[in-house]
């Protein structure tokens, strides 16, 4: 029996929700210079809000994933949307750095982990064929974030103060995301959809969630995701400020960030297609190596055209590798535990993302240069490449053979 056409609605809604959510969180680099100028807070302190956000994402990601496995994705995503809007509103009213770090960091971080991993887990469950394409399309929606919310933030900041701009963004988030969240549905079971139960080899594994989270393939995926995200988080967060320090105009500097998102869309789709043809692991390993050298290349950029060239390569590769973690997870683990598995790998990735903003802010405050940030990102990126080389999938189980085994 054919799969439900509603699965493509899930893809569209997931990409849209992720785009707005990520865009709202990653507006902070656009706010960094005007916010610190208006408040006197240090770049390290403001950057720490993003670090705290990723730490809270890491702390809550697995819990949200387990909850999705139990009650379904719609309720969890709705909770996340409400928390995201509330966090942005409260952050816009913060009167001290610690308040800003709590609202933009902790509250927004918890909300993002209730939105992104559940969306990815849901999409992998809806698709038995064209899974890599579906995951890549949703991820491409995520990649549109720098081209939407960041230019909006720059437009608002140019015409009003940072507090009003952030409050407007909070309203936009709620107005757009609440209706879209109601489109998210739990995938039908194989029996409900009229499909053979033993269709996917990964679903035939006699594996508990706790055993899966302790398995070598999961631990390697998590470690790779950690280093991968640690390698690109600093360049993503600080490149706007770095470009401004090199004499690039603020609006032009934001366009560098947007270009990363534009090329990232192409990268997500290209890496997804290549993953289907060449194997997800092979493409992931190659992408991680290119990402490492892309981060290093920022160290030598100085003019706007040089920033554009590096951003095109870096955005294409760092965004391209990200959907492959979900593909590898679904190829190796049962669909019934995708919330936990993707939530767990997202926890590791969030810890990696937490490293870059704080490290970059500290490096700049201490040395008045970002050079060491990009050099460190290069080294961590090489680490991700080497760890990914050690990934070994579970031995493949043929569904027909598994189905024939006695209960």
Query: In the structure, what pLDDT confidence band is assigned to residue 175 with cuts at 50, 70 and 90?
Result: very high
Q: How much is the pLDDT for 406?
A: 44
Question: In the predicted model, is pLDDT for residue 330 greater than 90?
Answer: no
Q: How many other β-carbons are positioned within 10 Å of the β-carbon of residue 214?
A: 10
* Residue recorded with tokens 């055209």: 305
Q: From CA 235, how far away is CA 244, in angstroms rounded?
A: 14
User: What are the pLDDT digits (tens) for 195-227?
Assistant: 444 445 555 567 788 888 889 999 999 999 999
Q: Answer whether 116's CB lies under 8 Å from 140's CB.
A: no
Please choose, from the candidates 346, 328, 356, the residue with its C-alpha nearest in 3D space to the C-alpha of residue 114.
Answer: 346
Q: From CA 342, how far away is CA 17, in angstroms rounded?
A: 17
Q: How many other β-carbons are positioned within 10 Å of the β-carbon of residue 108?
A: 29
Q: From CA 226, how far away is CA 347, in angstroms rounded?
A: 8
Q: What is the mean pLDDT of the chain?
A: 85
* Angle subtended at Cα 257 by Cα 161 and Cα 311, rounded to the nearest 5 degrees: 160
Q: How much is the pLDDT for 398?
A: 55
Residue 91: alpha-carbon gap to chain centroid: 22
Token pair in block for residue 220: 């390697």
Write out the H or E segment, with its range, that includes residue 392.
none
User: What are the pLDDT digits (tens) for 272-304?
Assistant: 788 878 888 999 999 999 999 999 999 999 889
Q: Answer whether 110's CB lies under 8 Å from 83's CB.
A: yes
Domains of the chain: 7-186+208-390 (1.20.1250.20)
* Angle subtended at Cα 46 by Cα 147 and Cα 55, rounded to the nearest 5 degrees: 80
* Angle subtended at Cα 305 by Cα 301 and Cα 308, rounded to the nearest 5 degrees: 80
User: What are the pLDDT digits (tens) for 127-146?
Assistant: 777 777 788 888 877 777 76
Burial class (CB in 10 A: 0-12, 13-18, 19+), 208: exposed
Helices (H) and strands (E) in the chain, counts: 18, 0
Write out the H or E segment, with its range, that includes residue 106.
none
Token pair in block for residue 333: 């683990």
- Would you give the DSSP letter of residue 192? T
Cα separation values, 282 from 158, 217, 278, Å: 44, 15, 7
Question: In the predicted model, is pLDDT for residue 182 greater than 70?
Answer: yes
For residues 188-203, one letter each, b for 16 or more C-beta atoms within 10 angstroms of the residue's C-beta and e for the rest, the string is bebeeeebeebebbbb
E strands, 164-208, where? none
| Cα dihedral: 198, 123, 187, 340 (round 10) | 80
Q: From CA 229, how far away is CA 249, in angstroms rounded?
A: 28
Q: How much is the pLDDT for 198?
A: 42
User: What are the pLDDT digits (tens) for 26-50?
Assistant: 888 888 888 988 998 888 788 888 8
C-alpha torsion sign, points 138, 31, 109, 289: positive
Write the DSSP assignment of 32-100 as a string of letters: HHHHHHHH---HHHHHHHHHHHHHHHHHHHHHHHHHHHHH-HHHHHHHHHHHHHHHHHHHHT--SHHHH
Query: In the structure, what pLDDT confidence band is assigned to residue 377 with cuts at 50, 70 and 90?
Result: very high
């Amino acid at each position: 029996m054919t799969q439900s056409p509603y699965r493509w609605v899930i893809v569209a809604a997931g990409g849209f929700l992720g785009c707005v959510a990520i865009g709202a969180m990653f507006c902070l680099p656009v706010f960094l210079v005007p916010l610190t100028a208006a408040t006197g807070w240090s770049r390290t302190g403001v950057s720490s809000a993003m670090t705290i956000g990723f730490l809270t994402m890491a702390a809550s990601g697995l819990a949200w994933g387990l909850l999705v496995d139990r009650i379904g994705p719609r309720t969890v995503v709705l909770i996340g949307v409400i928390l995201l809007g509330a966090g942005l509103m409260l952050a816009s009213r913060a009167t001290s750095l610690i308040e800003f770090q709590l609202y933009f960091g902790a509250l927004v971080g918890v909300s993002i982990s209730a939105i992104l991993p559940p969306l990815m887990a849901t999409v992998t469950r809806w698709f038995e064929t064209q899974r890599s394409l579906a995951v890549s399309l949703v991820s491409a929606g995520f990649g549109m974030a720098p081209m939407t919310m960041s230019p909006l933030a720059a437009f608002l900041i140019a015409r009003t103060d940072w507090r009003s701009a952030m409050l407007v963004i909070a309203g936009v988030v709620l107005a757009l995301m609440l209706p879209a969240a109601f489109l998210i549905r739990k995938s039908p079971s194989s029996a409900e959809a009229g499909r053979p139960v033993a269709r996917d080899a990964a679903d035939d594994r006699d594996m508990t969630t706790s055993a899966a989270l302790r398995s070598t393939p999961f631990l390697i995926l998590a470690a790779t995701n950690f280093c991968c995200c640690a390698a690109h988080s600093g360049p993503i967060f600080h490149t706007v400020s770095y470009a401004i320090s090199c004499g690039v105009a603020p609006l032009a500097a934001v366009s560098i960030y947007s270009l990363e998102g534009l090329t990232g869309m192409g990268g997500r789709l290209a890496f997804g297609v290549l993953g289907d043809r060449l194997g997800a692991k092979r493409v992931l390993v190659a992408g991680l190596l290119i990402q490492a050298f892309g981060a290093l290349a920022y160290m030598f950029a100085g003019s706007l055209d040089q920033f554009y060239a590096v951003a095109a390569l870096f955005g294409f590769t760092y965004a391209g590798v990200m959907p492959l973690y979900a593909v590898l997870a679904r190829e190796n683990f049962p669909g019934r535990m995708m919330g936990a598995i993707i939530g767990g790998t997202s926890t590791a990735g969030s810890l990696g993302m937490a490293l870059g903003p704080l490290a970059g802010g500290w490096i700049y405050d201490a040395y008045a240069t970002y050079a060491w940030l990009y050099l460190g990102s290069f080294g961590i990126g090489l680490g991700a490449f080497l760890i990914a080389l050690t990934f070994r999938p579970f031995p493949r189980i043929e569904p027909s053979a598994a189905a024939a085994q006695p209960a």
